[in-house]
Amino acid sequence: MALQDVSQDVGQPKVALFNDPKVRGWVYQVVLLVVIVYLVVVGVQNMFANLAAQNIASGFGFIGRNAGFAISQSLLEYNQAESSYGKVYIVGLLNTISIAFIGILLATVLGFLIGIARLSHNFIVRGVATVYVEIFRNIPLLLHIFIWYFGVLRLLPHPRNSGDLGWLGLLNNRGWFAPKPLPQELFFITAIAFIVGIVVTIFISRWSRQRQAKTGQQFPVFWTGMGLILGLPVLVFLVTGLPLEFDYPVAGGFRPSGGMTVIPEFIAMLLALSTYTAAFIAEIVRAGIMAVNKGQTEASHALGLRHGPTLRLVIIPQAMRVIIPPLTSQYLNLTKNSSLAVAIAYPDLVSVFAGTALNQTGQAVEILGMTMLTYLGLSLLTAAFMNWYNAKMALVER
């Protein structure tokens, strides 16, 4: 910057076009771009020419074709007789997203708890947290997955003597057969009450913040919010006459019928992914908290803030700025690691689409390309969200 300012003061010296740094810069950029585009075009042409020369089918026509194989877990209606490879893709994608999303939530909660426990003044709590981190961080994830899977399978009973969890359904080595909620006619009023509760809480918290900034008076936002978000729907639910019934699973045959099933592969995968990633998140949280200078705590105490508000208003907002960027890459890791699910037959995107569908159609380039783009898209979306959150938490200089 400074150099440019000086040159402007002196006035542009006359130089040959060839020696003008700006022109040269542009020329280099254009040449590089042309080379990259050329390489990509030649590479793609070469690929199609070779595929054609080797008589390997290409194109995306397979997406509409009937897949004809079964998938053990599907969030959508999936029918092996009619569903296409396109449907297989969507089913696999939803399975990947669901394991990644729930895994991220669990890993975050567990990671924050352990990270804070590692800073505890209690020797035993600190020790347990340290042992947890060292064990889970230093064993390969695939082994975690196998241990959870075969451990879970061996512990659970055969369907003929399923464990009875009472109103939670049945548990055996074919999965957790949970009661399926069947919303009745008036249930939508409860759902509306829930949404109303959330919206009103948001308004109240804004209003209370403004009022506190103006007058210093505080308002019990948390308890009001809990009452509105949880209490209101429950009240409406009772008043409208419990408009929700459950379809309970019934034991019998090879496996219980009715209800909804959570397959053991999902449970094992979720436990493995979240406990493994939680160890890394714990370290990130610990680093973030330790990065906040001790003087901040002392200053806060000197201002008369007690321990709780100090943590909530001084330490954590500053720690979050250190925590969020590495936390983002842990989220991305967890999403990508979910592709190891293929080892234990969890039907994620890699297993059903880049696995079975690839093998049935033989169109490796198209299917792997689609799968790669999908993971790229998922990761970019996660990163975009975390960057937005990071920008929100960033230090606002006044």
Partner 1 sequence: MKKRILSAIVGTAVLGFAAGTASAATLDDVKSKDSLQCGVSQGLPGFSNPDQDGNWSGLDVDFCRAVAAAIFGDASKVKFTPLSAKERFTALQSGDVDILSRNTTWTMSRDTALGLNFSVVNYYDGQGFMVRKDLGVNSALELSGASICTNTGTTTELNVADYFRANNMEYELVAFEKADEVVAAYDAGRCDVYTTDQSGLYAQRLKLTDPAAHVVLPEIISKEPLGPVVRQGDDQWLNIIKWTHFAMLNAEELGVTQANVDEMKNSDNPSIKRLLGTEGEFGGAIGLSNDWAYNVIKEIGNYGESFDRNVGPDTPLAISRGVNAQWNDGGLQYGPPIR
Q: Which stretch binds partner 1 (CB under 8 A): 90-98, 146-154, 177-185, 388-396?
A: 146-154
Taking the complex as a whole, the smallest distance from the CB of residue 255 to partner 1 amounts, in Å, to: 6
- Torsion sign (Cα): 303, 308, 311, 312: negative
> Which H helix or E strand runs over 183?
strand 180-183
Q: Does 251 bind partner 1 (CB under 8 A)?
A: no
Under 8 Å between Cβ of 280 and 139: no
Q: Does 80 bind partner 1 (CB under 8 A)?
A: yes
By CB under 8 A, the residues from 159 to 178 that bind partner 1 are 173-174
Of 365, 364, 360, nearest to 71 by C-alpha is 360
Residue 182 backbone phi and psi in degrees, to 5: -115, 95
Q: Does 46 bind partner 1 (CB under 8 A)?
A: yes
Which residue type, as a one-letter code, is found at position 63? Answer: I
By CB under 8 A, the residues from 358 to 397 that bind partner 1 are 358-362, 364
- CA atoms of 378 and 386, how far apart (whole Å): 12
Of 210 and 359, which CB lies nearer to partner 1 in the complex structure?
A: 359
Q: Which stretch binds partner 1 (CB under 8 A): 43-51, 98-106, 183-191, 218-226?
A: 43-51
Of 51 and 128, which CB lies nearer to partner 1 in the complex structure?
A: 51
Which residue type, as a one-letter code, is found at position 116? Answer: I
* Residue 213 CB neighbours (<10 A): 8
Q: Does 153 bind partner 1 (CB under 8 A)?
A: yes
By CB under 8 A, the residues from 270 to 299 that bind partner 1 are none
Of 39, 382, 246, nearest to 390 by C-alpha is 382
Taking the complex as a whole, the smallest distance from the CB of residue 195 to partner 1 amounts, in Å, to: 36
Taking the complex as a whole, the smallest distance from the CB of residue 395 to partner 1 amounts, in Å, to: 39
By CB under 8 A, the residues from 206 to 245 that bind partner 1 are none
- CA atoms of 394 and 367, how far apart (whole Å): 40
Site string for partner 1, 308-347 (x = CB under 8 A): ----------------------------------xxxx-x
Binder of partner 1 out of 277, 337, 351, 382 (CB under 8 A): 351
Q: Angle at CA 335, nearest 5°, toward 328 and 180?
A: 120
Residue matched to tokens 């003044």 = 121
Residue 168 backbone phi and psi in degrees, to 5: -90, 0
Q: Is 73 helix (H, G, I), strand (E, B) or coil?
A: coil
Taking the complex as a whole, the smallest distance from the CB of residue 345 to partner 1 amounts, in Å, to: 5
Q: Does 40 bind partner 1 (CB under 8 A)?
A: no
> Which H helix or E strand runs over 172?
strand 170-172
Q: What is the DSSP string of 211-269?
A: HHHHH-----HHHHHHIIIIIHHHHHHHHTT--EEEE--B--TTS-BSSEEE-HHHHHH
Binder of partner 1 out of 122, 257, 293, 387 (CB under 8 A): 257
Site for partner 1, rule CB under 8 A: 28, 31, 35, 39, 42, 46, 50-51, 53-57, 68-72, 80-81, 149-150, 153-154, 158, 173-174, 253-255, 257, 263-265, 342-345, 347, 351-352, 355-356, 358-362, 364
